[in-house]
Amino acid sequence: MLIVTEHYSRRRRHSKNNKQKAARPACKGAGAGKAGNPRELAYLLLARVHSTGAFSNLLVPRELSRSALDARDKAFVTEAVYGSLRWQGLLDTVISAAARRPVAGISAQAIDILRSGVYQILFMGTAGYAAVSQNVDIMRKYAPGPLPGFVNAVLRTVTQRPRQEWESLVVSRIPKEDKDKRLSVRYSHPEWIVSLLREAWEGAGYSQYQAAEGGAGAEGQLEAMLAADNEPPDVVLCARPGLINVEDVMAEVHGIAGTRGTCGHGRFSPYSVHVKGVDPQTLPSVRRGLCGVEDEGSQLAALALAFSAPVSRGERWLDMCAGPGGKAALLAAYAAQHGAAVLANEPAHHRADLVHSSLRRLGAGTENVTEHDGRELGKLYPHSFDRILVDAPCSGLGALRRRPESRWRKKPEDVAALAALQQGLLSSAYKALKPGGTIAYVTCSPAVAETARIVDPFLSSHPDMRRMDTAAVIRGISADPGIQLPSRAGDVQLFEHLHNTDQMFISLLHKIQ
Residue 164: count of CB within 10 angstroms of its CB: 9
Q: With 60 as the cut, is the pLDDT of residue 28 above it?
A: no
Average pLDDT score, the chain:
91
- Closest by CA to 366, choosing from 384, 340, 348, 346, is 340
Q: Which letter does DSSP use for residue 394 in this model? A: B
Residue 24 lies in a domain: no
201: in domain: no
444 is catalytic: yes
Residue type, 133: S
Whether residues 339 and 475 fall in one domain? yes
Which band of pLDDT confidence, cut at 50, 70 and 90, is reported for residue 35?
low
* 16 annotated to a ligand binding site: no
The answer on whether 346 is annotated among ligand-binding residues is yes
CATH of the domain at 338: 3.40.50.150
For residue 187, is it within any domain? no
Selection from 387, 361, 369, 393 nearest residue 292 by Cα? 361
Q: Residue 84: its pLDDT value, please? A: 98
Q: What residues does 387 pair with on adjacent strands?
A: 317, 438
The 10s digit of each residue's pLDDT in 217-268 is 889 999 999 999 999 999 999 999 999 999 999 999 999 887 788 899 999 9
290: Cβ contacts below 8 Å, ≥ 6 apart: 239, 240, 243, 244, 361
> Domain of 250?
235-293
Report whether 321 belongs to an annotated binding site: yes
CATH number for the domain that contains residue 250: 3.30.70
Is residue 416 a known part of a binding site? Answer: no
Q: Residue 208: what pLDDT?
A: 77
Share of the chain above pLDDT 70, in %: 91
377 and 407: one domain?
yes
473 and 433 within one domain:
yes
Is residue 484 domain-shared with residue 500, that is, in the same domain?
yes
Do 283 and 320 share a structural domain? no
Looking at the structure, tell me whether residues 304 and 283 fall in a common domain. no
Q: Is 325 annotated as a binding residue?
A: yes
Q: Is 29 annotated as a binding residue?
A: no
Amino acid at 502: D
In this structure, the answer to whether residues 376 and 441 fall within a common structural domain is: yes
Whether 273 and 355 share a structural domain: no
Residues 395 and 257 in one domain: no
At 129-147, the pLDDT tens digits run 999 999 999 999 999 899 9
- Residue 443 bridge partners (DSSP): 505
With respect to residue 240, please indicate whether it lies within any of the assigned structural domains: yes
In a domain, 9, yes or no: no
- What does the buried/exposed string (b/e) look like for 290-317 if buried means 16 or more CB atoms within 10 Å of the residue's CB? bbbebbbbbbbbbbbbbbbbebeeebbb
State the pLDDT at residue 31.
52
Domain boundary among 293, 316, 336: 293
Length of the chain: 513
pLDDT at 477 > cutoff 90: yes
Q: Is 23 among the domain residues? A: no
How much is the pLDDT for 216?
A: 56
CA quadruple 407, 92, 213, 173: dihedral sign: negative
Identify the H or E element spanning 82.
helix 71-86
pLDDT tens string 179-191 = 999 999 999 999 9
- Please state the domain count of the chain: 3
Residue-level pLDDT at 5: 39
3-state helix, strand, coil in the chain (%, to 5): 55, 10, 35
In a domain? residue 21:
no
Q: Same structural domain for residues 287 and 309?
A: no
CATH of the domain at 122: 1.10.940.10
Return the higher-pLDDT residue of 127 and 388. Answer: 388
- The verdict on residue 179 lying in a domain is no
Instruction: Identify the weakest region by mean pLDDT among 74-78, 147-151, 301-305, 355-359.
Output: 355-359
